[in-house]
Structure 1
Amino acid sequence: MNLYIGCSGWTYSGWKGTFYPSNIQNWQRLSYYSRFFNFIEVDSTFYYVPSRNIIHGWKNKTPHDFKFSFKFPQVITHVNKLEKVSKYLEYFFYVLEPILDKTLMLLIQLPSFMSAKVGLNSLRHFLLKLDKRYRYALEVRESSWFDFPIYDFLNQNNITLVWRVRPDLKTPTFVTTETIYLRFIGDRAIEERNFGINVRNKESELKEYVEHVKHSKEHHNIKDVIVTFNNNYAGLGPQLAGEFSRLMNESPQ
């Protein structure tokens, strides 16, 4: 089982003096980050799609076995709600092509207002347009998606159901593919300048999800486990990622 643990982004100024050295330059951050973690989730592609040159730079700044996941742009998932998005998909795949070999997963995050009744048919047609060279994960934010026919549909289409950990809505730990994608998300209550100052104790919840991963591995053919933390989950993403890695390594794999 391959274990990929990291954070949702790496450009935070609030990491200076807590995770990053105080004198680090912006262009050095990703290389420094990749010394400690083997994976990064790129959330920024939700807001804007970078150039291919930037993508090339990210690839070259990281070790050969370092992996990325990328979130689909909001113009696809939230603005157009998965419909009439062919031109946006074409550009997104074009930009990511240089880093294809380092891409673990592409993340489809649906808006919180999209129920299964409203969104399933759009999702069904959307999946037909996707580049088959990538693997995909679906994060839903409305409870009507938590139903066995939905899980069967995802399984049949080889789409990983994201385990979303946030107080307002936790995803059932149901396995739909050979991959587990676990996202620890906060409520943005912590200001960036306070990252690392007051880190909340989340050990009991982390242990709970370590057990979920172990249980799933015993009952399913799990090949990859992807775990990502944003800073607002507990106050400092790298610290929690490191703690989860430690707990996983303490447990029989």
Structure 2
Amino acid sequence: MATKKTGSAARIRVGIGGWDFEPWRGTFYPEGLAHKRELEFASRAVTSIEVNGTFYRTQKPETFAKWHDETPEDFVFSLKAPRYATNRRVLAEAGDSIERFFESGVLELKDKLGPINWQFAPTKHFDPEDFESFLKLLPATVEGRAIRHVVEVRHESFVDAAFVALVRKYGVAVVVAGDSKYPQIADVTAPFVYARIMGTTEKQKTGYPKAALDRWSARAQEWAAGGAPDDLPTVGGPAEKSAARDVYLYVISGYKAANPAAAMALIKRLDEPA
């Protein structure tokens, strides 16, 4: 299974959140598969995984190196940044937490290090001055490696053209919180798009009905081609047209047991000839 390519450089990566989930055993994972081989299996069924564990605790360099070695060459991990950086009253004071995160061994993932998701609490309000101070702390490169940043904001106060202009100024993406209770800000603000879709249900074998899977597949292809879907809400002005743009689309939350099936159904659609 190849990662979907569009144009000369763009990639559409479709994945799930994590890989250690008991209800996937015997459904997504074959019966009897050793737990230590679940990452190996999952990384060959989807093309990216968003790691949630890094949000709660610091991982060891050897852990990141192990993840790198157990996954295919073209696989990519996105990482949830530590909550100590985002769950604070004054974001401008997050510098030490951000530095510690990047010193924890994340670069052991090498070329498999994808975007860093800075997730904020639903109670966190938009404070333009403080939020810009936070964005200034996010490193564009670490030890010569370019770093992609995405912010996941979940309070209605961020539905503001000033917020979109601010993140666009720094080339930081905004999570497209698809099919969720959170504000959906689908403005393209970076050289890549990061979507987390959360609408899977138990009644659908593949989590989503066919029509919804078709819509998300079409949206991903529109983003990758440098455009933007016309059926998702935006807040600021249109993004500058791009020749090609990487897309990271994760099937998250919802009815989690069905998320791998939904991700694989999307990959199948994206792999079909145009």
TM-score category, normalised to shorter length: 0.7 to 0.9
Q: Which residue among 36, 40, 45 is the counterpart of 1:36? A: 45
Question: Which AA in structure 2 matches 1:239?
Answer: A
Q: Which residue among 119, 134, 138 is the counterpart of 1:130? A: 138
Q: Which residue among 171, 178, 182 is the counterpart of 1:158? A: 171
Distance 1:239 1:213, change over 3 A: same
- Aligned partners of 2:160, 2:208: CA distance in 1, in Å? 32
Could you tell me whether the CA contact under 8 Å between 1:164 and 1:185 is conserved in 2? yes
Which residue of the partner structure matches residue 226 of structure 1? Answer: 248
Which residue of the partner structure matches residue 84 of structure 1? Answer: 93
Which residue of the partner structure matches residue 4 of structure 2? Answer: none
Which residue of the partner structure matches residue 261 of structure 2? Answer: 239
Distance 1:63 1:249, change over 3 A: closer
SS of 2:30's partner is coil
Could you tell me whether the CA contact under 8 Å between 1:202 and 1:234 is conserved in 2? no
Which residue of the partner structure matches residue 109 of structure 1? Answer: 119
Q: Deviations over 1:156-202 (max 9, x none)?
A: 10001110124312413221122111101369xx9xxxx89976443
Which residue of the partner structure matches residue 33 of structure 2? Answer: 24
- Aligned partners of 2:107, 2:153: CA distance in 1, in Å? 26
Distance 1:186 1:109, change over 3 A: farther
Which residue of the partner structure matches residue 202 of structure 1? Answer: 209
Structure with more helix by fraction: 1
Count of residues in Structure 1 that have an aligned counterpart in Structure 2? 244
Could you tell me whether the CA contact under 8 Å between 1:93 and 1:131 is conserved in 2? no
Distance 1:231 1:251, change over 3 A: farther
- Aligned partners of 1:201, 1:128: CA distance in 2, in Å? 38
SS of 2:103's partner is helix
Q: Which runs of 5+ in 2 are unaligned?
A: 1-9, 142-146, 228-240
Could you tell me whether the CA contact under 8 Å between 1:197 and 1:235 is conserved in 2? no
Could you tell me whether the CA contact under 8 Å between 1:137 and 1:160 is conserved in 2? yes
Distance 1:223 1:89, change over 3 A: same
Distance 1:180 1:209, change over 3 A: same
Could you tell me whether the CA contact under 8 Å between 1:59 and 1:99 is conserved in 2? yes
Distance 1:97 1:196, change over 3 A: farther
- Aligned partners of 1:62, 1:215: CA distance in 2, in Å? 28
SS of 1:41's partner is strand
Please, what TM-score do these two structures have when normalized by structure 1? 0.86
Which residue of the partner structure matches residue 121 of structure 1? Answer: 129
Could you tell me whether the CA contact under 8 Å between 2:24 and 2:257 is conserved in 1? no
Distance 1:38 1:74, change over 3 A: same
Q: Which residue among 204, 219, 223 is the counterpart of 1:212? A: 219
SS of 1:150's partner is helix
Which residue of the partner structure matches residue 139 of structure 1? Answer: 152
Distance 1:90 1:108, change over 3 A: same
Stretch deviating more after TM superposition (215-224 or 232-241): 215-224
Which residue of the partner structure matches residue 14 of structure 2? Answer: 5
Distance 1:251 1:76, change over 3 A: farther
Question: Which AA in structure 2 matches 1:105?
Answer: P
- Aligned partners of 1:230, 1:204: CA distance in 2, in Å? 18
Distance 1:149 1:94, change over 3 A: same
Q: Which runs of 5+ in 1 are unaligned?
A: none
- Aligned partners of 1:170, 1:239: CA distance in 2, in Å? 26
Alignment of structure 1 residues 48-67 onto 2, 5 Å: 48-67=57-76
Which residue of the partner structure matches residue 97 of structure 1? Answer: 107
